[in-house]
């Protein structure tokens, strides 16, 4: 059985632990590899390697750091197909979907190449007589990222590109369910000229995360995953004195007003609800149909679902692949037996839904009650719920009273309603006729409420702020002849 190693100090390192975690082929259900879960000493070795490399990497010029990011960007671009193919083999998403993930990750690499400009501080000449004041941004030191299974290439690039270009060194703990892409990215960073030890990968599960949280040399932690785990990591990390950004779960609402283009809204709901088998934190999981649009919209969505081709990544015509594991597939399936809604399209009827692979067809549930599991839980699979609302105000209230505040969208032809919606909703990311409003790389990604723990969002300007700290320097070069003792409060006039 193929064993997936760690990456420490610029090379692959075989695991020595006695716990082995399965990596499946989601299309067949077969165990294709094993992760040898990192031991405490192995995690410590990765952190020590990063700590040893950090002073030299911090001392590298901004131009040098940006040059490494430029080279890494070109290498990722040249190896898109290999990355996407490896990713889809372990995750199950189609190769085309995986390629799209790589493309969005590349945007973050490109943003990071602008660090020489983005890391500029401020300067105030003559803040007081003969005194200048200026601010500079400096790296934190060794930082760590804990990333989810659903985006094994993109989410790590959200984190480490910004962290590295700011002068930090990085330890990545990828998901144990699809970990191989992390090693390919590590090798591309090495080939791009990143010094050995500046980027390390430890494979494993919760025990590796706990070791990173406890390690005194880790200055900051970034996490993307479910809300319960995000809350736990935030609390444990901040208790340990670390800076933490922890992105949690979502229940993204797509509000469709009566004046919306029904065909466009149905296309968007299906695309955003079932892409990557619904295993996206920005997937639309609730369509809020307002007033008279509901029947027409449900009919249009159901008709489109019937045309979705579900199959393995090896099928070039497949539009949706399997779920990540059999356990997760069974959990998602179980919702279709729940009360609180009328199942219009049942994904369990797919011929392969009971086969060896982890397939489940797309499902549509109408007349969903807001106190049901369909509505309250983050299902994280291809189950799209439709909640009917009588008015715009009722629809907005649903978004605003939801526990989560990751993303939301409105579909309408009314510019005034759209403007009012983006003002009214309590949510971190808003789409207007855009179903998945993931910000471009020069903005930042993150939700509100139980979708984010911490003060700063991920990547973009917030990412640079998270991975740096500001130092303010007050400078004076006086004539020695004018020096004197003055115990009064410092003057600026």
User: Which residues are catalytically annotated?
Assistant: 281
What are the C-alpha distances in Å from 76 to residues 70, 94, 313? 10, 19, 21
End-to-end CA distance of the chain: 74
For the beta sheet containing 468-476, the strands, ordered from the edge strand earlier in sequence to the opposite edge, are 123-128, 131-139, 468-476
The structure tokens listed for 299 are: 């009919």
**CB of 454 closer than 8 Å to CB of 430:** no
Beta bridge partners of 133: 124, 474
CA–CA gap between residue 359 and residue 26 (Å, rounded): 8
Nearest C-alpha neighbor of 211 from the set 350, 17, 376, 409 = 17
Nearest C-alpha neighbor of 153 from the set 103, 213, 191, 190 = 103
Nearest C-alpha neighbor of 346 from the set 305, 307, 374, 311 = 305
CA–CA gap between residue 426 and residue 5 (Å, rounded): 43
CA–CA gap between residue 49 and residue 478 (Å, rounded): 44
Phi, psi of 339 (to 5 degrees): -75, 170
Give the list of residues 6+ apart from residue 311 with CB closer than 8 angstroms, or none: 317, 318, 320, 321, 352
**Angle between helix 95-112 and 154-165 (nearest 10):** 10
Q: Which residues of 44-74 are buried (b: 16+ CB within 10 A; e: fewer)?
A: bbbbbbbbbbbeebbebebeebbebbbbbbe
CA–CA gap between residue 107 and residue 90 (Å, rounded): 23
Burial label, 487 (beta-carbon count in 10 A; 0-12, 13-18, 19+): exposed
Cα 339 off chain centre by = 32
Strand 20-25 versus strand 30-36 pairing type: antiparallel
Q: For the chain, give the number of residues.
A: 493
């Amino acid at each position: 059985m193929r064993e997936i190693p760690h990456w420490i100090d610029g090379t692959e390192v075989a695991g020595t632990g006695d716990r082995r975690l399965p990596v499946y082929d989601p299309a067949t259900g077969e165990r294709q590899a094993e992760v040898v879960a990192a031991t405490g000493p192995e995690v410590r070795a990765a952190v020590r390697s990063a700590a040893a490399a950090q002073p030299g990497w911090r001392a590298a010029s901004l131009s040098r750091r940006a040059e490494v990011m430029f080279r890494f960007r070109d290498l990722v671009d040249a190896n898109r197909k290999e990355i996407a193919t490896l990713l889809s083999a372990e995750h199950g998403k189609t190769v085309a979907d995986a390629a799209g993930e790589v493309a969005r990750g590349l945007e973050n690499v490109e943003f990071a190449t602008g660090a020489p400009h983005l890391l500029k501080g401020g300067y105030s000449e003559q803040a007081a007589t003969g005194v200048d004041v200026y601010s500079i941004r400096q790296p934190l030191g060794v930082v760590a990222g804990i990333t989810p299974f659903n985006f094994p290439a993109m989410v790590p690039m959200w984190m480490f590109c910004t962290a590295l270009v700011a002068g930090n060194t990085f330890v990545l703990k990828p998901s144990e369910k699809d970990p191989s892409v992390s090693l390919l990215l590590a090798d591309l960073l090495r080939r791009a000229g990143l010094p050995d030890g500046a980027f390390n990968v430890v494979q494993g599960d919760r025990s590796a995360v706990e070791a990173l949280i406890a390690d005194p040399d880790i200055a900051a932690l970034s996490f993307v995953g479910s809300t319960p785990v995000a809350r736990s990591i935030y609390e444990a990390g901040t208790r340990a004195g670390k800076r933490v950004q922890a992105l949690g779960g979502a229940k993204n609402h797509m509000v469709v007003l009566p004046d919306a283009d029904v065909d466009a809204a149905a296309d968007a709901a299906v695309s955003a609800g079932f892409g990557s088998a619904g295993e996206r934190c920005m997937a639309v999981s609730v369509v809020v149909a307002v007033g008279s649009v509901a029947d027409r919209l449900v009919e249009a969505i159901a008709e489109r679902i019937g045309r979705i081709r579900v199959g393995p990544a090896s099928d070039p015509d497949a539009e949706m692949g399997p779920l990540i594991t059999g356990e997760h597939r069974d959990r998602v399936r179980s919702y279709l037996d729940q009360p609180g809604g009328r199942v219009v399209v049942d994904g369990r009827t797919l011929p392969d839904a009971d086969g060896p692979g982890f397939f489940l067809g797309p499902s549509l549930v109408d007349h969903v009650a807001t106190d049901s599991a369909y509505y309250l839980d983050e299902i994280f699979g291809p189950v799209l719920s439709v909640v009917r609302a009588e008015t715009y105000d009722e629809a907005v209230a649903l978004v605003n009273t939801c526990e989560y505040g990751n993303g939301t969208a409105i579909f309408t032809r009314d510019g005034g309603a759209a403007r009012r919606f983006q003002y009214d909703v309590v949510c971190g990311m808003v789409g207007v006729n855009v179903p998945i409003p993931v910000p471009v790389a020069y903005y930042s990604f993150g939700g509100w409420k139980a979708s984010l723990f911490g003060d700063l969002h991920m990547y973009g300007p917030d990412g640079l702020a998270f991975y740096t700290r500001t130092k303010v320097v007050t400078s004076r070069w006086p004539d020695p002849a004018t020096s004197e003792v003055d115990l009064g409060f410092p003057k600026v006039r």
